Amino acid sequence: MNTSTTSPKELCAHDIMSRDLITIPLDFSLGGVANIFCENGISGAPVVDEAGNLAGVISKSDLIKHDAEAATRVVSGPATYFRTLDDETLQELDPDRFHEEDLESARVIDVYTDNVITATTTTPLPSLAKMMVLHGIHRIIILDGESPVGVVTSMDLLRRLASLEGWMDEPTA
């Protein structure tokens, strides 16, 4: 589609969605999720059941909230998901003030969001933007039936708007 003469009102989710979708199973560990987020430079992903159907979404915010709650329940201490410490630093920490939850025991099913805002590939861009603003979210999972096939993020919308307005080159994603 030639976007140089295209209005945002004419575009749909399939025109800008990311198709290289990383999905997370319900029984996956939170440590594994944190690693996937860091390794792939993403801040959230769809959560799927055993059949591959959408069950919800998990984000860095969910991980941080869980980690903060776990730290508060045990002792007050720093969040641990996105911090690395060397062995020498770990030995210097006061064990009475520091708790690092076993990230392999905490599971996605314990922290993910199951009330997810979704759309189809034919949902118009203005509708996607309105959903994000009204619900205060940064990503919308795009479904084909019950299966996730893509995601549209707030950055995807901004990139396309900027390219349509001539503020930057055409997005490559």
How crowded is the C-beta side of 163, counted as CA atoms within 13 Å? 19
Q: Is residue 35 part of a domain?
A: yes
Local confidence band at 139 (pLDDT 50, 70, 90 cut-offs): very high
Note the pLDDT tens digit of each residue in 22-46: 999 999 999 999 999 999 999 999 9
Q: Is residue 172 part of a domain?
A: no
**Which CATH number does the domain housing residue 72 bear?**
3.10.580.10
Whether this prediction's pTM lies above 0.75 is answered by no
DSSP letter for 73, please.
H
Note the pLDDT tens digit of each residue in 120-135: 999 999 999 999 999 9
Counting the structural domains of the chain, the total is 1
CA distance 76 to 9: 49
Q: Is residue 170 part of a domain?
A: no
Q: Is residue 24 part of a domain?
A: yes
CA distance 84 to 142: 34
* CA-closest candidate to residue 141, choices 154, 159, 153, 129: 153
Q: Is residue 169 part of a domain?
A: no
Q: How far is CA 139 from CA 34, 118, 150, 157, in A?
A: 18, 9, 10, 10
The pLDDT > 90 percentage for the chain reads 58
Q: Is residue 83 part of a domain?
A: yes
CA distance 123 to 128: 7
Question: Domain of 56?
Answer: 3-164
